[in-house]
Amino acid sequence: MKPTQELHDAGQSLWLDNITRDLLTSGKLRSYIEQLAVTGLTSNPTIFDQAIERSSAYDPAIAKGAAEGASAEEIFFQLAIDDLRAAADLFEPVHRGSDGVDGWVSLEVSPLLADDAAATVAAAVALHQRAARANLFIKIPGTPAGLQAIGECIFAGVPVNVTLLFSSAQYTAAAGAYMTGLERRLAEGLSLDVASVASLFVSRWDKALATQGPEALRDRVGIAAGTQAYRSYHELLASDRWRRLENAGARPQRLLFASTSTKNPAAPDTLYISGLAAPMTINTMPEETLLAFADHGQVRGTLDPTGGDADLVMSQLAAAGIDPGELALRLQREGAAAFDASWHNLVACIGDRAGQLVAGH
């Protein structure tokens, strides 16, 4: 049995953190579904930026959009929606077979809207309607403005992937926004069948600490942050607030581990896959990490829902003069800034490519 199937059988969904047109047209994504137990897919501005910049597969569509007078941003969303519709269709049997629990793909709103809740909600509603796929999440960052938008989107019936979460506290706030949206729907007599996942970014903790903090904590803090969030996830599912919603027909907002490629060349390349195996959760992994785990990964047990030694790790970090809460906030701000930069580069790349293609004709 492949390690990926073993992890799937342990109760964790394996999602691919990548999408390119070549991945779709070559049949590679289908092979990952059939052979490596992949049951979903995520994307972000950085992934699309790299996909479009490194491939000519998008050129015909870019040229067509430019000839029709579309802006670079409009062209991007059409490219992204086309790709994600195709991916959603590949995952539709998984989505149907799991009764809507699995088989999802994700499309992010413009990160430039991160501080404007109303604009984020309007964009999320429009993108979800335009994509016209039941198994498509709209990604919204779990920033303060994003939390307001998340609750509004859930109330509007838009499935949401909450992104850029780094700590148990940020995860708990995102879960609260999800429940607020559901509670509003319950009060209005609306269906509570609106899905969501909460994406906790892991490896950026250890990357940030690579040159500071105790040597004994190298490559341990990201997994500790994930373990703390997993404990909070279990505590939330046992809470009276959640049980009232569950009794009325709601489904849990699943915890998703993101940013799971190993950044330290000296550490195992499957560090955050083996270390974050946990039932009822998702691990979305880059293609290289997925293939590495399929080749030589090991499932050595699952996360301790009571937190294990995570609190000890974080207290040792604090004792070294690094406040985990402050670092989580910094990582969230830096993550948002990185997505902004990728977005600007992506739009510029499409604009340049469109100009070249039009001139070439």
207 given a catalytic annotation? no
- Quick one: three-class SS letters along 210-223? CCCCCHHHCCCHHH
Length of the chain: 361
Q: 79-97 as b/e, with b when 16 or more CB fall inside 10 Å?
A: bbbebbbbbbebbeebbee
Are 62 and 350 within 8 A, CB to CB?
A: yes
What are the phi and psi torsion angles at 97 (to 5°)?
Answer: -70, -25
Are 285 and 16 within 8 A, CB to CB?
A: yes
How many DSSP H helices and E strands does the chain contain? 16, 8
The catalytic residue among 2, 139, 207, 263 is 139
- Say how far residue 281 (Cα) sits from the centre of its chain: 12
User: For residue 273, which of 265, 286, 156 has the smallest C-alpha distance?
Assistant: 286
Q: What is the number of alpha carbons within 13 Å of residue 73 lying toward its C-beta?
A: 10
Q: Which two tokens stand for residue 265?
A: 């060349």
Q: Distance between CA atoms of 258 and 6, rounded to whole angstroms?
A: 20
Phi-psi domain of 218 (left: phi exceeds 0; alpha: psi -120 through 50; beta: other)? beta
Burial class (CB in 10 A: 0-12, 13-18, 19+), 78: middle
Sign of CA dihedral 46, 353, 114, 196: negative
Our CA angle for 273, 278, 280, nearest 5°, is 125
| Pairing status of strand 254-258 against strand 136-141 | unpaired
Q: Distance between CA atoms of 9 and 125, rounded to whole angstroms?
A: 35
Q: Which residues are catalytic?
A: 139
